């Protein structure tokens, strides 16, 4: 079973619209990261959320960590074509150095 479930799997919207994507788990996690990956490149870290209920903003992107630390959301306001990409949530492995466990991601396409 997938430790992290991301939804929706695919999302295509028009420029200027708002959207929210989700990352959910049946387990509590100590911290969670969001990455964005563009085609043919490696993922790039957007944010790390640690505290339950935490909200972080990165320009038009708002990241929220659920109170119970089992879910997270990413909200994009007034989406632009440059936001197109694969959005991945990830959590740290068991021992800190073990590497990241990723969700399957949300493929986002912003149409001009």
Partner 1 sequence: SQTIHQWPATLVQPVGSPLSLECTVEGTSNPNLYWYRQAAGRGLQLLFYSVGIGQISSEVPQNLSASRPQDRQFILSSKKLLLSDSGFYLCAWSAQANTEAFFGQGTRLTVV
Contact at 8 Å (CB) between 46 and 58? Answer: yes
Q: CA 112 to CA 106: how far, in whole Å? A: 19
Q: DSSP assignment, residue 21?
A: E
Closer by beta carbon to partner 1, 40 or else 112: 40
Rounded to a whole number of angstroms, the minimum distance from the CB of residue 16 to partner 1 is 29
**Positions in the binding site for partner 1 (CB under 8 A):** 31, 33, 40-45, 48, 88, 90, 92-93, 96-105
- Cβ contact 56:37 at 8 Å: no
Select 66 or 103, whichever has its Cβ closest to partner 1: 103
Cβ proximity to partner 1: between 7 and 101 the closer is: 101
């Amino acid at each position: 079973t997938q430790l992290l479930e991301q939804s929706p799997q695919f999302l295509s919207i028009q420029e200027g619209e708002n959207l929210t994507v989700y990352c959910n788990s049946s387990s509590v996690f100590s911290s969670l990261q969001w990455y964005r990956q563009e085609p043919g490149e490696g993922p790039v870290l957007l944010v790390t959320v640690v505290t339950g209920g935490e909200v972080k903003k990165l320009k038009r992107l708002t990241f929220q960590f659920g109170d119970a630390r089992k879910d997270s959301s990413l909200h994009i306001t007034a989406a632009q074509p440059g936001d197109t990409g694969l959005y991945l949530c990830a959590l740290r492995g068991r021992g800190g150095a073990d590497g990241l466990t990723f969700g399957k991601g949300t493929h986002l396409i912003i149409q001009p």
